[in-house]
Amino acid sequence: MRVLIVGAGKVGHHLAGALAGSGHAVIVVDQDPKACDSVRRAGVDVVCGDGCTPDCLERAGIRGCDVLAAVTGVDEHNLVTAFLARREYEVPRVIARVNHPANAWLFTPARGGDVAVSQAHLISTIIQEELSIGTMVTLASLRGGRVAVVEERIAPGSHLVGRALSAVALPPHTALMAVLRSGDLLVAGADLVFQEGDEIIAVAELGAEPALAALIEPADAADSAHR
C-alpha cells in the first residue's frame, strides 16, 4: 500500500518506521526541516512542506496513495489535511489524529476522515482497563457511540463465579463475546463456567451497560461504581 503520513513528530516518525518495516511504500510530510531530516535518516522518503496545502500534498504523491494519516500535533492542521484528502483527492482511507480531547467533536467523517484516533482517549482507556477491578471499561464505541464493546474483570464476591453461561440470564441488548483467562481467549459457549479474575468481553447497546455491570459485579460494588 502507498501510505502518506502528514506529521513527522513522535507519532508520525514511529508510524512511518513501523509501516515501512512491514513493506508499505511510505512518504512522510512535515514542514520542519529538522523533523524531516530525522525521518530521512531512518530511510523513509520525506517531502518537506506544509501538509495543509494542495501543492505540498501533490508533491508528496497524494493522488496515488491508498491511505493518508494526518498525525501532526495540531488538530486544525490534521482536520484540514483530512478534509483535502477526502474532498479533493478522494483518498480511499483517511485517518486523523485528535490531539486535544476537547476537539474530538470536530472530527466528523465529513471533515476529519474515516477514523479519528484520539491518543488521550486511547491511553486513558488502556490505563483504566489495567486498573480495573470491579469497574466496566469501554474498549470501543461503535455506530457513533450507540453500541459499546466493554470489558470487566470478575471480582471476588461476584455471584457469576462458578456459574455456567447457560445458567445466566443476560440483560436485554447485551451479548457476551469471550472471556480472557490467564492470557487465553475462551470464546463464549453455553458450557463456559465463570471463574474469579476472568475478564469478560461483551457488547452492549447504549443504556444497557449498567444492567450488565450489575450482573457481573458484586452487589455492593455495582452500586458504587455505577451511581
Partner 1 sequence: MQLIILGCGRAGRLLARAAVEEGHGVTVVDQDATAFDGLGSWFTGRRVTGIGFDRDVLLDAGVEHADALAAVTGADSVNVLVCLVARDEFRVPHVVARIYDPRQADVYRRAGITTIAPVSWGVTRITDLLWHTEWRVQLALGDGDVELVEAEIPHRLAGRFVDELNVSGEILVAAVTRAGSALVPFPGMALAEGDRVTCAVRSLSRDRLQAQLAR
Binding site for partner 1 (CB under 8 A): 52-55, 76-77, 79-80, 83-84, 87-88, 102-103, 105-106, 108, 110-111
User: Is the CB of 97 or the CB of 153 nearer to partner 1?
Assistant: 97
Alpha-carbon span 75 to 100, nearest angstrom:
7
For residue 115, what are the contacts with CB-CB under 8 A and spacing of at least 6?
93, 94, 95, 96
Find, among 6, 22, 33, 25, the residue nearest to 89 by Cα: 6
Within 10 angstroms of residue 171's Cβ, the number of other Cβ atoms is: 16
Minimum CB separation of residue 57 from partner 1 in Å reads 10
Minimum CB separation of residue 49 from partner 1 in Å reads 12
Alpha-carbon span 163 to 168, nearest angstrom:
7
User: Is the CB of 57 or the CB of 150 nearer to partner 1?
Assistant: 57
Minimum CB separation of residue 53 from partner 1 in Å reads 5
Q: By the 8 A CB rule, do 205 and 145 touch? A: no
Minimum CB separation of residue 60 from partner 1 in Å reads 14
Q: 90: alpha, beta or left, given left = phi > 0 and alpha = psi -120 to 50?
A: left
User: Is the CB of 108 or the CB of 166 nearer to partner 1?
Assistant: 108
Which grid cell sits at 27? 512518504
Minimum CB separation of residue 149 from partner 1 in Å reads 27
User: Is the CB of 27 or the CB of 79 nearer to partner 1?
Assistant: 79
User: Is the CB of 77 or the CB of 97 nearer to partner 1?
Assistant: 77
Alpha-carbon span 88 to 97, nearest angstrom:
19
End-to-end Cα spacing for the chain? 48
Which grid cell sits at 71? 498525525
User: Is the CB of 50 or the CB of 114 nearer to partner 1?
Assistant: 50
Which grid cell sits at 64? 496515488
Minimum CB separation of residue 217 from partner 1 in Å reads 34
